[in-house]
Amino acid sequence: MKSSILRQGHFFSLLLLSWTCCCCFFFVAVHGSAPVAESPELLEETSSETFKFVHKTVIIPHDQKKHRGGEDAAATSDQLLVVADGVGGWANKGVNPGLYSRLLTKTIVELFEKDKEKQSPLSLSEIVEQANQYAASQHLGSATCTAVRLTGPNTLQTLNIGDSGYSIHRRTSSGLNVVFASEPGQKQFNFPHQIGGKYGDVVAEVADHHTHSLQKGDILVVYSDGVSDNLHPQEYHECIDRYLTADGIVVSYSLVADCIARQAYVLGKDKQFDSPFAQGARLVGK
């Protein structure tokens, strides 16, 4: 006998890297049966709760970086989402910044999957630091990094380094509200913290950690500065609402992710647009 997915709080997540977007839902599966709104797949019956992300990804590399596949990276598993924004300055030294960021995200997920069943699993900082050291041993480079993981049916644990980040959006009777948006970790304006082995910061010293309690229908957006430089968190709502039913069901993960990514892409090419980045620069006299 099998039991289907019980949509306890379709926790919708978008990973946005420059103009890259991965959209996910959060599920809780429990013993019993319930209708599946999006997927006909069934989970094996279990006596304990499980919880996971279900995700889609959209990638739009910067026009000047397409030839090397872009500089940002994303990696995901059922319970972990990771983004890393490769530091473009390495290209001036003949280094492809995307090689380090892609290996970093891939290794973070691999370490997490190997470690999560242990009695005393590693912390997010320990996982990211181990992945950082390994990736740096294989490739020159550095990157900002955001990692978010589910630690319970309604609990999100996060780590943020640099000006990548995430925001949490919640539906109310008046519409979507931004209930949390991370602050960039920077040495100074446009000079974010970054990791990259001996060429970067120490994870334990610069990582910003949070734990959030999730509610049914909460939406998570995870991004790099290619999105946050061009859109404020509340401006994601236009794309989310476009594909959100009255019952709070997203019609298509990919369409929402693509909408946000493309909005950021188009605005980033508009030299007359007063972007969040331009507004921040003015505040510090740039």
Residues 171-195 pLDDT 10s: 888 999 999 999 999 999 999 999 9
Whole-number pLDDT of residue 40: 28
pTM: 0.85
Helices and strands of the chain, counted as H and E runs = 7, 15
Q: Average pLDDT for residues 139-146, to the nearest whole number?
A: 96
Whole-number pLDDT of residue 63: 81
Whole-number pLDDT of residue 26: 47
Whole-number pLDDT of residue 218: 82
Rounded CA separation 227/119 (Å):
38
Higher pLDDT, 262 or 30: 262
Whole-number pLDDT of residue 47: 34
Q: How confident is the model at residue 137 (pLDDT cuts 50, 70, 90)?
A: very high
| 211 pLDDT above the threshold of 90 | yes
**CA nearest 50: which of 105, 107, 142, 116?**
116
DSSP string computed for 223-267:
E-HHHHTT--GGGGHHHHHHTB-TTS-BS-HHHHHHHHHHHHHHH
Whole-number pLDDT of residue 233: 94
Question: Residue 55: helix, strand or coil by DSSP?
Answer: strand
DSSP string computed for 196-231:
BTBTS--HHHH-EEEEEE--TT-EEEEE-HHHHTT-
| 2 pLDDT above the threshold of 60 | no
Whole-number pLDDT of residue 217: 76
Q: What is the DSSP letter of 279?
A: H
- Per-residue pLDDT tens over the stretch 46-100: 334 567 776 777 777 878 888 787 888 999 888 999 999 999 999 999 999 999 9
Q: What are the φ and ψ backbone dihedral angles of 184, each rounded to 5 degrees? A: -65, 140
Q: How confident is the model at residue 6 (pLDDT cuts 50, 70, 90)?
A: very low
- Hey, how many other C-beta atoms are within 10 angstroms of the C-beta on 159? 21
Q: How confident is the model at residue 130 (pLDDT cuts 50, 70, 90)?
A: very high
Whole-number pLDDT of residue 14: 57
137, 147, 156, 205, 233 from 182: Cα distances, Å: 30, 12, 14, 17, 10
Whole-number pLDDT of residue 35: 27
Q: How confident is the model at residue 102 (pLDDT cuts 50, 70, 90)?
A: very high
Rounded CA separation 267/235 (Å):
12
Tokens of 63: 């026009």
Q: Average pLDDT for residues 251-255, to the nearest whole number?
A: 81
Whole-number pLDDT of residue 244: 86
| 199 pLDDT above the threshold of 90 | yes
Average pLDDT, the chain: 82
> By the 8 A CB rule, do 273 and 226 touch?
no
- Hey, how many other C-beta atoms are within 10 angstroms of the C-beta on 36? 15
Q: Average pLDDT for residues 106-117, to the nearest whole number?
A: 94
Q: Average pLDDT for residues 101-112, to the nearest whole number?
A: 97
| 25 pLDDT above the threshold of 70 | no
Whole-number pLDDT of residue 219: 83
Q: Average pLDDT for residues 225-251, to the nearest whole number?
A: 90
Give all strands of the β-sheet with 155-161 in edge-to-edge order: 72-76, 80-86, 143-152, 155-161, 208-213
Whole-number pLDDT of residue 45: 35
